[in-house]
Amino acid sequence: MTYLIPYLSKYSYNFPDPRSASPEGIVAVGGDLNPNRLLNAYKRGIFPWYSEGEPILWWSPDPRLILYPQDIKISRSLKKSLKKFTIKFDSDFEGVIRSCRDVRSRTWILPEVIEAFCKLHELGFAHSVETYYEGELVGGLYGISIGGAFFGESMFSKKSDASKSALVALCNFCLENSIDFIDCQIPSDHLKRMGAVEISRERFLIKLEEAMKKGGVIGKWRKDKG
């Protein structure tokens, strides 16, 4: 069966219903990374993911991996690691996103992606959680926060448990600020071991609709813990 993927007009930020995605999870192709288009996509459970030289591909996979903040699993070794790191929020967003790019041999974090997410950071929607050891940035993660949902994009670690520590800090922040879940997008054994679960796209979209009714935390996150 041939599946025709809709092509986005540059004059409209609207998206097809994510339930109409191809079997692989592709909702649409084309468009750009304008902040308004990106925010509209995430609000509908759609995110960009593509390689250099490709047009932008917009995804809504089925199943979806999410992490409820209260369900984060912290091992004994991770509990020990948490004590040696300093965690900061939104102190070096660009440093985190570039580090996420640099630790991968193949990456979707292209220059235009970095530029777009840095704009969203300036607007108060994209955030980073950084892990420092003896003053050096050794791990972290970044994503977008809208309403009662955090859409995780990528994470990196240069020291054992550094990215996991950032994730624990994010979960604590979510619990304190009524953020319902962290969207982990694609199923990952690593994140499943930390408590993430797979749910159907339909169930995800229902939860997302409820989360979007919340006001959310807009603006820089400035809760530093040493």
What does the pLDDT average to over 31-44?
A: 97
Q: Is residue 219 part of a domain?
A: no
Q: What is the 3 state secondary structure string of the chain?
A: CCCCCCEECCCCCCCCCHHHCCCCCEEEEECCCCHHHHHHHHHCCCEECCCCCCCCEEECCCCEEEECHHHCCCCHHHHHHHCCCEEEECCCHHHHHHHHHHCCCCCCCCHHHHHHHHHHHHCCCEEEEEEEECCEEEEEEEEEEECCEEEEEEEEECCCCHHHHHHHHHHHHHHHCCCCEEEEECCCHHHHHCCCEEECHHHHHHHHHHHCCCCCCCCCCCCCEC
Same domain flag for 172 and 69: yes
Tell me whether residue 93 is in a domain. yes
Cis status, amide bond into 63, omega within 30 of 0: yes
29 with 116, same domain: the answer is no
| Mean pLDDT across 192-202 | 98
Count the domains in the chain. 2
* Domain termination site, one of 61, 82, 100: 61
Residue 226 pLDDT level (bands cut at 50, 70, 90): very low
Which of 16, 37, 61 marks a domain boundary?
A: 61
* Residues 80, 57 share a domain: no
Query: The whole model's pTM is what?
Result: 0.95
Considering the domain architecture, whether residues 106 and 23 belong to the same structural domain is answered as: no
Contact at 8 Å (CB) between 180 and 58? Answer: no
**Burial (CB count <10 Å: 0-12, 13-18, 19+), residue 79:** exposed
How confident is the prediction for the chain on average, in pLDDT? Answer: 94
pLDDT tens sequence across 122-148? 999 999 999 999 999 999 999 999 999
CATH number of the domain residue 182 falls in: 3.40.630.70
Q: Which domain holds residue 150?
A: 65-211
pLDDT (tens digit per residue) in 58-103? 999 999 999 999 999 999 999 999 999 999 999 999 999 999 999 8
